[in-house]
Chain A
């Protein structure tokens, strides 16, 4: 471990720092920004509706349709978020997983950051200091997406053809390679840890595979959204059974 850390920094009581009142206030601020934005947008849409050839009633129906369609996916995100609460505390989960990012990118960022501190997410060396560094890295990474949006949207809106005419093959292959590369590396990295880690990866991967097959072969399309939450629960359950039945790796 790094020697600069104070005794407090090496405490593993993550929630003591992760649930501080100031963090709650900042998280509520992010929610407020979203609510204000939606209210302003809805007023602007109603005002300009006639010009866009859309009636007040159609706007309301669109709002309702969007809200209803979001119930399932939102609850699926809730399930994943609750599973991550013990790792990051409520305010960080609300802002990072619930809003800006997704469970996949944010937990990946946190795991990478913890790795640079010589620690493992949720492991015995996952101290307050590791949590804070991971939280900082997640937030900076999330800021990357937001900054890119703030910078690129006005550029794209001006119809900058240079950006839009980027080679389509490049736009199809490079992002896919970056994504699969990042997650393959993280997933395969877990296989180098304890037998219970390997079991968790394999069980959760198999569960997701099953969900995806059922979602495409049957009418259970909802499994696409719920797949991640279900896989996490099944993976954790398998890990719990293995961990408490002697596969405990503590050397």
Chain B
């Protein structure tokens, strides 16, 4: 831009920043999306396991029924905190609430930048880059190399037991963590009651509901939580899983 006007130059280079980050943000996220889908598709197509499209659709529907609300809600919730450029980083690097947001806040505090300003946005973006580098290196080294080696030397009977009980060991902790951080006792009670009724009363009576049971619980809980909400005060915004 061939202008001597400082204001115009300033907005010019910010516009260029926005253009660069959104173009590259979309391109890199799109590439990661395709690469991450390519892995299971490769397995389905090249291995002779007898997997049918019907099995994949059934599994996908069960998962989608449980999570589709969050696909849209999480990006909308995080946008005001992250800003457009960092959105493309955050939903690719993952672990937003437990790693990226704290990193961004620490960086803003370090240089005394306020969230919501351009200084704050740039500081958060650099912090997320720093967090991404640390994360990528520690995943490649500690999980990719050391972890793979560790698993290969652990006795198989321990591995078998670990494999069998890892999911219950995750889900108990995740549920408690969610309930404590959300502080929504009313929603919690509704969810637990609905889950017990659906899993131990409805599903035994109507076995066809076994596969979409979690989706059914999510739907009924959401509807009940909405109609039974306490109308006095507005609840605090939600902390999310990713």
**What secondary structure prevails in chain B residues at the interface with A?**
helix
The answer, yes or no, to whether B205 is at the interface (CB within 8 Å) is: no
Inter-chain contact B92/A146, CB cutoff 8 Å: yes
Chain B residues with CB under 8 Å of A76's CB are: 98
B20–chain A nearest beta-carbon distance, Å: 4
Chain B residues with CB under 8 Å of A9's CB are: 48-51
Question: What are 7 A-B contacts with C-beta separation under 8 Å?
Answer: A37-B24, A53-B118, A66-B130, A86-B162, A144-B64, A231-B173, A236-B169
Given known contacts A113-B62, A154-B22, A178-B221, is B13 in contact with A86 (CB within 8 Å)?
no
Inter-chain contact B71/A145, CB cutoff 8 Å: yes
Per-position 1/0 for A75-111, Cβ under 8 A of B: 1111011111111001111111011111111011101
Inter-chain contact A170/B226, CB cutoff 8 Å: yes
Within 8 A of B (CB), among A49-63: 49-54, 58-63
Given known contacts A173-B226, A235-B165, is B37 in contact with A143 (CB within 8 Å)?
yes
The answer, yes or no, to whether B115 is at the interface (CB within 8 Å) is: no
C-alpha gap A215/B142 in the complex (Å): 26
The contact of A83 among B94, B162, B220, by CB within 8 Å, is B162
C-alpha gap A87/B198 in the complex (Å): 28
Chain A residues with CB under 8 Å of B84's CB are: 153-154, 156-157
The answer, yes or no, to whether A71 is at the interface (CB within 8 Å) is: yes
The contact of A42 among B35, B129, B162, by CB within 8 Å, is B129
Given known contacts A166-B76, A184-B195, is B102 in contact with A48 (CB within 8 Å)?
no
Inter-chain contact B94/A101, CB cutoff 8 Å: yes
C-alpha gap A6/B20 in the complex (Å): 49
Inter-chain contact B170/A74, CB cutoff 8 Å: no
The answer, yes or no, to whether A220 is at the interface (CB within 8 Å) is: no
Given known contacts A102-B94, A116-B58, is B176 in contact with A69 (CB within 8 Å)?
no
The contact of A85 among B42, B71, B151, by CB within 8 Å, is B151
Nearest-CB residue, chain B, relative to A103: B170
Given known contacts A66-B130, A95-B36, A129-B49, is B194 in contact with A181 (CB within 8 Å)?
yes
C-alpha gap A39/B121 in the complex (Å): 17
The contact of B28 among A5, A19, A36, A149, by CB within 8 Å, is A36
Inter-chain contact A148/B72, CB cutoff 8 Å: yes
Within 8 A of A (CB), among B163-202: 163-180, 182, 184, 187-188, 190-192, 194-196, 198-200
The answer, yes or no, to whether B116 is at the interface (CB within 8 Å) is: no
Bin chain A's interface residue count.
Answer: 35 or more
Chain B residues with CB under 8 Å of A176's CB are: 182, 184, 187, 225, 235, 238
Chain A residues with CB under 8 Å of B195's CB are: 181, 184-185, 187-189
Bin chain B's interface residue count.
Answer: 35 or more
Within 8 A of A (CB), among B88-130: 88-89, 91-95, 98-100, 102-104, 106-108, 110-111, 113, 117-119, 121-130
Inter-chain contact A30/B99, CB cutoff 8 Å: no
Inter-chain contact A81/B147, CB cutoff 8 Å: yes
A227–chain B nearest beta-carbon distance, Å: 6
C-alpha gap A10/B103 in the complex (Å): 44
Chain A residues with CB under 8 Å of B80's CB are: 164
Given known contacts A31-B140, A184-B195, is B167 in contact with A111 (CB within 8 Å)?
yes
Inter-chain contact B59/A112, CB cutoff 8 Å: yes
Inter-chain contact A54/B77, CB cutoff 8 Å: no
Inter-chain contact B214/A54, CB cutoff 8 Å: no
Chain B residues with CB under 8 Å of A168's CB are: 234, 237
Inter-chain contact A227/B173, CB cutoff 8 Å: yes
The contact of B142 among A50, A75, A128, by CB within 8 Å, is A75
C-alpha gap A66/B44 in the complex (Å): 39
C-alpha gap A49/B210 in the complex (Å): 55
Inter-chain contact B142/A34, CB cutoff 8 Å: no
C-alpha gap A58/B166 in the complex (Å): 43
Top 3 A-B residue pairs of the complex, sorted by shortest distance between their CB atoms:
A66-B127, A235-B169, A67-B130
Residue of A61, A92, A98 ringed by the most chain B CB atoms within 10 A: A98
Chain B residues with CB under 8 Å of A144's CB are: 64, 67-68, 71
